[in-house]
Amino acid sequence: MADAQLSPLSALGPARYLKHAFEDQHNLVLLLGASCFSVAFASFLPLIVGVSAELVWLSVGPRLPAFREWVDRKLSTQYLARSEAAIEGALAELSTAEVRRFRALSRNVALLLANAEARLPAHELELAVHGLLELRRTFLDYSFLGQRVTALADQIPNSERELEAERLQQTYGAERELTVRMTIRNALTALQRTISQQTSLASVNRTIELRLEMLEGALLYLTGRLADPTFEQLAPEIDNALREIGPAEALELKVDEIFAQAPASAGR
H, E, C per residue of 14-76: CHHHHHHHHHCHHHHHHHHHHHHHHHHHCCCHHHHHHHHHHHHHHHHHHHCHHHHHHHHHHHH
pLDDT value, residue 156: 78
* Residue 77: closest CA among 140, 17, 135, 130: 130
Q: Amino acid letter at 157?
A: P
pLDDT at 37: 55
User: What integer pLDDT is reported at residue 3 of this predicted model?
Assistant: 39
Distance separating alpha carbons of residues 42 and 12, to the nearest angstrom: 40
C-alpha distances in angstroms, 125 versus 4, 68, 106, 130, 218? 14, 17, 17, 9, 17
Residue 146 is predicted with a pLDDT of: 94
Q: What pTM value is reported for the model?
A: 0.70
Q: What is the pLDDT of residue 52?
A: 63
Gap between the terminal Cα atoms of the chain: 44
Q: pLDDT tens digits, residue range 212-246?
A: 999 999 999 998 888 887 777 888 999 999 999 99
Angle at 59 between CA 56 and CA 65, to 5 degrees: 115
> What are the CA-CA distances from residue 69 to residues 12, 56, 65, 114, 129 (Å)?
15, 20, 6, 22, 16
The residue type at 2: A
pLDDT (0 to 100) of residue 30: 56
**Structure confidence by residue, pLDDT tens digits, 151-190:** 888 877 777 887 877 887 888 778 788 888 888 888 888 8
**Contact partners, residue 33, CB within 8 Å, separation at least 6:** 50
Between CA 205 and CA 248 the distance in angstroms is: 12
**Per-residue pLDDT at 180:** 81
Which residue positions in the chain have pLDDT lower than 50? 1-12, 262-268
Q: Parse the chain into domains and list their residue ranges.
A: 1-92, 96-268
